[in-house]
Amino acid sequence: MATQYYTATSVDGFIADADNSLDWLFQFDEGDESPYPDFIAEVGALVMGATTYRWIHAHHLDAGADRPQPWPYRQPCWVFSHRPLPAVPDAELHFVSGDIAAAHAEIAEAAGGKNIWLVGGGDLVGQFHDHGLLDEIILGVAPVTLGSGAPVLPRAIVDPPLELIGVDSVAGTFAYLRYRVGGRPAT
């Protein structure tokens, strides 16, 4: 089991633009070459912050959403927030705040030996790193620059540095970089 941060990023290191939008990302379709189906098959639980959850809710779940779809995950999901958020019918959601380490133990148990996916955002992922609970970072680098926005990971990770353990490309669009977080075991 590994705790993994899997996300798309612009070449200049942003996961959302200055308006907190992912519209820049939806121009790409990896089709059958996408590594996502294999990745999600190994995930037993998800974690996301309130901003990510609110974005999914507003753009996919709300009446009148611009890209309507049902809740996209079958795995249990922990949402870290200091404010009440709307629930999603038929989704196994756990709204939590506070101690990441205590929540991680509960999340790991629920994952049942499978991986934990830190969906985002970057600051929440940084908190997992700060507690020594981040094992891997998997970046799908899109061929765009955004100039500003939400950074991939607003933390300095210098000593020990990340260890590159995999590089791949998909259909000439995304470069996938897989890093092991220094001092963490390989998966």
**Each residue's pLDDT tens digit, 116-174:** 999 988 999 999 999 999 999 999 999 999 999 999 999 999 989 999 999 999 877 89
The CATH code belonging to domain 3-180 is 3.40.430.10
Q: What are the boundaries of each domain within the chain?
A: 3-180
Helix axes 100-111, 122-130, angle to 10 degrees: 100
CB 16 within 8 A of CB 130: no
Distances in Å between the Cα of 81 and the Cα atoms of 13, 54, 78 are 24, 10, 10
Query: In the chain, which residue ranges form alpha helices assigned H by DSSP?
Result: 36-41, 50-56, 100-111, 122-130
pLDDT at position 187 is 52
**Each residue's pLDDT tens digit, 30-76:** 888 889 999 999 999 999 999 999 988 888 887 777 777 889 999 99
